[in-house]
Amino acid sequence: MAANASARGIPAPLAGVAGIAAVVLGAGLGELAAAVLAPSSSPVAAIGAALIDLAPPWAKDTAIALFGTADKIALLAGIALVMLALAAFAGWLEVRFPPWGAVVVAGFGVAGAVIAATRPGAGALAWLPSAVAGATGAVALWLLARLLRRSLASPTSAAPADPQERTDAATAGPPDADTPRPPSRRAFFAWAGAATAVGIVAVGVGSLRSTASAGVAAARRALRLPTPAVAASAVPAGAELGLPGLAEVVTPNDRFYRIDTALIVPEVDPADWRLRIHGMVANEVELTWDDVLALPLEESWTTLACVSNEVGGTLIGNARWLGYPVRELLARARPDTDADMVLSRSIDGFTASTPLEALTDARNAILAVGMNGEPLPLEHGFPARLVVPGLYGYVSATKWVTDLEVTRFDRATAYWTTRGWSERGPIKLQSRIDVPRRGQGLKAGEVVIAGVAWQQQVGIEAVEVRIDEGEWMPATLAAAISDDTWVQWSHPWDATPGDHVIQCRATSRTGEVQTEQTAPPAPDGATGWHWRTVSVFD
């Protein structure tokens, strides 16, 4: 390819501006098209979703460790930055070697279209927003780069033209009396600015439009869940210690941790939702939303925990779930005797492998539709998800669930298992210190140490606390809601001035003492004792 001669004098930053303006315009129009057609087909989201699935496990683990539940915002910001850098490069390329910059932009559009069209659950028009983005971005870049070359090859609009420059300018077109004046640099900035502004406004309009048209959110608000046929036990008196800084024993929905691979929360209309039970079964079952609501629904308490939770971490929450026993649904399907796993699948292609036994034994493994007295929030799986006490979420708690395939561990592999996590994930015995809070200055004297402890399906027998590696002292357990929930604990401490290390450890109902041995979250859950250093002042 030959460098464009008239481009030689063009400063790279101006070429970068052309690239960024064109890409912002294209991306903005693409996002607007996605908002109108299907939120999950947004070009940026499609690329992000593909990156999430392609990312090596360590990258995801690091993202969760660094950004916690803000990992998705961090990813989107990262994608935006990389896109801007590539846009600037495409601008330079287009100015120097036309039309290669435009070709690169169009190529990204094609890549986005292919990715969006091949995502699980992609609609028929999923390719369109990326195609719009690529096409408008490429054309805009081609035009802006041409404008830029011509404006810089011309005399500036203000100064009287020097004869030499006039000659150069004249070569751009026939030396006709009607020849329009070559565009000024100001014109370039005006067009680049306009393209950027239109792109930004399109994103804004798109996000308004996608919230306004969020029919699924409206359907959820209008929904009245049936009264449970079996109500959950009441929270026993004394289960909630009510200490500032201590996790509430029932986690409010808006503060419940959220972990999933969905960059855009799937919007599943209950009217279209189906749950299919198939695979190694005698009788395939399909349920509609109305079928589920007509069932005698049961309420139960379960503390959900994420395998990525570090010792002392906050990727855990407790809720009152409303749903129907998976055991009963499976009984209708009649699994083959040699089946040992259920691969649950969400509408966006996430899968979890749950031992068939955990779904058929006496525990409250449910197809959940309600959370703390409300329909499931959209980001927690509306309209339906699985909740299985005693198992980490990645092997059990599939949100936006649409498919249960009865199979075997030696025949099918779930999303995280193919990325290096264990195929089974029973929740490990853990305890956490919540107060004194991290970095909180303490006055010497009576101080309360408090936290939570859990081992779902087993229950907590005791929690102990020690200061500066002294004797273990028994903490006082609050009342537990059930063995499937965490329990609060507290311990009074006569704090003396100086720096201290507080540690805690739990003992389960089967007599297991929480191990001191530290293990990272991968592959099957973190272990070790939680500790916190505090500074006590006179």
Residue 387: strand, helix, or coil: strand
Residue number with CB closer to Mo ion (57 or 123): 57
Q: Can you tell me the distance from the alpha carbon of 394 to that of 412, in angstroms, rounded to the nearest whole number?
A: 15
Q: Which residues contact 50 (CB under 8 A, 6 or more apart)?
A: 115, 119
The CA distance from 208 to 267, in Å, is 16
Q: In whole angstroms, how close is the CB of 114 to Mo ion at the nearest point?
A: 29
- List, in order, residues 6 or more apart from 58 with CB less than 8 Å away: none
Q: By C-beta, is 162 or 272 nearer to ligand MTE? A: 272
- Give min distance, CB of 307 to ligand MTE, in A: 7
Task: Report the nearest approach of ligand MTE to the CB of residue 340 (Å).
Answer: 21
Per CB under 6 A, which region of 39-47, 251-259, 273-281, 362-370 contacts ligand MTE? 251-259
**CB-nearer residue toward ligand MTE: 297 or 401:** 401
Q: Which is nearer to ligand MTE, 22 or 75 (CB)?
A: 75
H or E stretch covering 275: strand 274-279
CA 67 to CA 154: how far, in whole Å? Answer: 50
CA distances from 67 to 70, 259, 305, 420, 536 (A): 5, 11, 17, 21, 30
Residues with Cβ within 8 Å of 271's Cβ and at least 6 positions away in sequence, in order, are 219, 289
Q: Which residues contact 211 (CB under 8 A, 6 or more apart)?
A: 217
Q: How far is the CB of 216 from ligand MTE (least distance, A)?
A: 15
For ligand MTE, give the closer residue by CB, 346 or 514.
346
CB of 59 to ligand MTE, least distance (A): 15
Q: Which does 256 bind (CB under 5 to 8 A by kind): ligand MTE, Mo ion, none?
A: ligand MTE
Is residue 324 at the binding interface for Mo ion, with CB under 5 A as the rule? no
Residue 129 CA to residue 27 CA, distance in Å, equals 9
Residues in 293-322 at the binding interface with ligand MTE, rule: CB under 6 A: 304, 306
Note whether 259 binds Mo ion by CB under 5 A: yes
Residue range at the interface with Mo ion (CB under 5 A); choices 392-400, 429-437, 494-502, 503-511: 392-400
Are 28 and 201 within 8 A, CB to CB? yes
Looking at this protein, which amino acid is placed at residue 5? A
φ and ψ at 92, to 5 degrees? Answer: -60, -45
When CB distances to ligand MTE are compared, the closest residue is 393
Smallest gap from Cβ 268 to ligand MTE, in A, equals 10
CB nearer to ligand MTE: give 188 or 350: 350
Site mask for ligand MTE (CB under 6 A), range 257-296, x = bound: xxxxxx----------------------------------
Binding interface with Mo ion (CB under 5 A):
259, 306, 393-394
Binding interface with ligand MTE (CB under 6 A):
256-262, 304, 306, 346, 348, 350, 380, 393-394, 397-400
